[in-house]
Structure 1
Amino acid sequence: MGNFSHQNDKSITPEALKSLGRYDFPDPMTIDPDGIGVVAMGGDLAPETLISAYAQGLFPWFNEDEPIAWWCPEPRCVIAPTGYQPSKSLRKQANSARWQLTLNQAFDEVIHACSLPRSNGLPEGEHTWIHEEMIAAYIELHAQGYAHSIEVWDDKGQLIGGLYGLKIGGIYFGESMFHKASNASKLAFWGLMRLCGQSKVALIDCQLPNDHLMSLGATTLPRADFLTQLDVLLSHQPVKWHNHSHKPLAVSLLDTTEPWRLK
């Protein structure tokens, strides 16, 4: 299919997004009626394949030495930006910290940081499920305007946290986050909520629920409801984030009316 830059996607309908690439993904509700989660195996991580999969509610999740597995879990973990409320302690930290948020300034660094082991027992130097094949695929999606990162920088200019994911229409598909300083990933998440709210992104897909996401205000939707909402959200035309990657935001401004300077 070649390059299909997001900058020229105004004419791409949800149906066209789903038909990108060379694979026909099965209907999750038909192929996986029991809600196990895995709906397909194989294929590749070409940009067209990934966009087609996400547009159908699927995402890749597999270890480096395994075939590509495409997931559509039941239920689906999501959060609406308008319903997010930061904790009092996070507000206090944002008001006092001299940290900054940026958009799309260090995508490569963020995804590599997300790939490194946490407290999960992996040997030093080993990666999580975000291995080199995945990293290369999402870096290409970033180059084409679909994948985005939010970075957190301390007052010495050091990258201390961030997150990345994909934005298609009115939905953001969150992939991973990291922190090197306390609450840095939570501030990135708050920044994402405010950015989505300002740019008419109505839903963040968090994929699978966990205690951390639920503590941030995430909830779950039945898979069928998520897929129904997805069809509507794909057709939205929100503000394109790549136009605003050069404008840093002081974390102390997160609690203002419209912190991000969007056109």
Structure 2
Amino acid sequence: MITGDLGDLRETAPARWRRILFQIGKKGAAAWPGLVQGGLSRAFVFALSLRDDGPRGLLGYARMSAEKLLRPRQSLFQRRPENAYRHPDGLIDLGGNLNAARLIAAYAQGAYPWNHASPLKWWSPSKRAVLFFSDIRIEKNLRRVLRQGRFRITFDKDFEGVMRGCARPRDGRVPITWIGTRTITAYRRLYALGHAHSVEVWNARNELVGGLYGVVHGGVFVIESQFAAERDASKAGFVTLARHLKEWGFVLADGKVMTGHLANMGMREISRETYLGLLKGYGDHKGPEVWQADPALDTANWKPEELL
């Protein structure tokens, strides 16, 4: 999926440079670090867009901007998920509010926000990476880690801490994140309303060394992001969450876009149509009012495939 940024598509290049020069003159030397960092970030995201989808994706952003000016919205977003763009794959809108009401409605429609720079982008990709719990893969070394009790795993104890852990730069990667202050504020509100949850992984020194957070709609848990400051921390949190979701009657965990890490954990791709059907079919499912790790659920020895 493309997560690049075109900035304000209606702003011409000369006008943009005049604005930047004006900002430099107004703020003086103090403006340089921020402008340089912002420029490098935008250049990287632009290059990433070209790598993922080429010129067709960039034209898609321009097309969406023109469509928003000339055509009425099809629903809450400019396009319904089933009518999402093919290039960039899954784009259904640009901009708009990132408030709780819109986020809740988005996830109910199989859509979500994801962007590394403005404007805000809304997505419903043609394929979703999902975990049906009977497919989960728990490697021997991870089972050993769980049996040894190397980590203590909790739910909903430090939601913002997990978000900030996910936002921190990864070693060896370009320090660009889509989890900024605006995103943290929005999802913290969802957490307060009971629509978002976190998994925390603590080491023996009671340090937060891994975790993940996500959004619930009915029987689907949508994973937003995860992080690990120690080896196997995020995996331990993920499989513990999956064990509880299975026990609580959830149908799947949604990883959004397939990666090698998700594939190794047992996720597979399903079509948008299949995903939306499951989302609708399990939309009335009710999870627990209080999310709490149950020590009676033996994740280390869990073999859901044997129950089939």
The normalised TM-score by structure 2 is: 0.69
Check 1:137–1:201 CA distance in 2 against 1; reply closer, same or farther (3 A cut): same
* Alignment match, 1:255: 300
* Alignment match, 1:57: 110
Unaligned runs of 5+ in 1: 1-21, 258-263
Q: Which of residues 67, 87, 99 is equivalent to 2:119?
A: 67
1:227 positional shift? 1.0
Q: Percent identity?
A: 32
Q: Which of residues 35, 40, 62 is equivalent to 2:93?
A: 40
Find the aligned partners of 2:288 and 2:109 in 1 and give their Cα distance.
22
* Alignment match, 2:46: none
Q: Which of residues 234, 237, 241 is equivalent to 2:283?
A: 234
Residue type of the partner of 2:272? R
Residue type of the partner of 1:59? Y
1:244 positional shift? 3.8
Residue type of the partner of 2:249? K
Find the aligned partners of 1:229 and 1:45 in 2 and give their Cα distance.
25
Unaligned runs of 5+ in 2: 1-74, 303-308
Find the aligned partners of 1:77 and 1:130 in 2 and give their Cα distance.
21
Find the aligned partners of 1:148 and 1:57 in 2 and give their Cα distance.
18
Find the aligned partners of 1:58 and 1:31 in 2 and give their Cα distance.
10
Find the aligned partners of 2:222 and 2:214 in 1 and give their Cα distance.
5
1:249 positional shift? 4.5
Residue type of the partner of 2:251? A
Q: Which of residues 12, 15, 27 is equivalent to 2:80?
A: 27
Q: Which has the higher contact order (CA 8 A, sep 6+)?
A: 1
* Alignment match, 1:115: 167
Check 1:31–1:38 CA distance in 2 against 1; reply closer, same or farther (3 A cut): closer
Residue type of the partner of 1:115? A
Q: Which of residues 156, 173, 179 is equivalent to 1:130?
A: 179
The normalised TM-score by structure 1 is: 0.80
* Alignment match, 1:104: 156
Check 1:99–1:30 CA distance in 2 against 1; reply closer, same or farther (3 A cut): closer
* Structure with the greater alpha carbon radius of gyration: 2
1:169 positional shift? 1.2
Find the aligned partners of 1:117 and 1:44 in 2 and give their Cα distance.
26
Alignment of 1:167-246 (within 5 A): 167-240=216-289, 243-245=290-292
1:96 positional shift? 1.6
1:82 positional shift? 3.0
Find the aligned partners of 1:205 and 1:213 in 2 and give their Cα distance.
10
RMSD: 2.3
Find the aligned partners of 1:35 and 1:234 in 2 and give their Cα distance.
28
| Matched position secondary structure for 2:300 | coil
Deviation string for 1:88-111 (max 9, x for gaps)?
A: 111011112332110100101000
Check 1:32–1:157 CA distance in 2 against 1; reply closer, same or farther (3 A cut): same
1:254 positional shift? 2.0
Find the aligned partners of 1:104 and 1:180 in 2 and give their Cα distance.
19
Number of aligned residues: 229
